[in-house]
Structures are given as C-alpha cells and as structure tokens.
Amino acid sequence: MKKEPQTARLKITAFTKEGLGRGDVLSKDGKLKMVDTPFTMPEDEVEALLLKKRGGIYQSRLLEVLVPAKSRVEPRCRHFGHCGGCR
C-alpha cells in the first residue's frame, strides 16, 4: 500500500548550505521534524508537500507561499521558477 503524500504548513527559519529554506513541522508523534523547501527564505510561511526523508530531514516541494517574508522580492527573470535563477 502506497502512503499518501502529506502537506505541511511551515514557518521558514533559516537557509541550508545549499540555499534551501529550512523550517520545522510537528509530526503526529509530537516531535519536531526539519523540512527543507526550495524557493523559500527565512520568515516565509509556506504550504509544502513532504516528499522523502534523508538523514532525518524531510525534502519537500513548495506548493504556496502563504505569508511572504518582508524582504522577499520578485525575480527579475520570468524563467526563475523553472531553472532556479541566474548566478
């Protein structure tokens, strides 16, 4: 039987070394689990789809930015969401 993907509402609190946003979610057993979400930044509140767990940290996909961070800006390039942005 295949597990249904879970969604979670997260408050992003930090960046990872790779530049992903990191937040915490409370699991069903009452423990905090770390979640890494691309295209997010500290102070964002987001809805994310939890995908897989690696090294005790969930990898997720951003579904929606519910409350954007005050320092968030619109990307200059219209292709940003597809490629990750220019360097």
Identity (one letter) of the amino acid at 54?
R
pTM value?
Answer: 0.81
Query: Domain with 38 in it: what CATH number?
Result: 2.40.50.140
Distance CA 78, CA 75 (A): 7
User: What pLDDT digit, counting tens, does each position of 27-69 carry?
Assistant: 778 888 999 999 999 999 999 999 988 888 999 999 999 999 9
Contacts of 55 (CB under 8 A, 6+ apart): none
- Evaluate whether residue 43 is within a structural domain: yes
- Evaluate whether residue 1 is within a structural domain: no
- Evaluate whether residue 26 is within a structural domain: yes
Query: Where in the sequence is the domain holding 13, given as residue range(s)?
Result: 6-83
Number of domains, the chain: 1
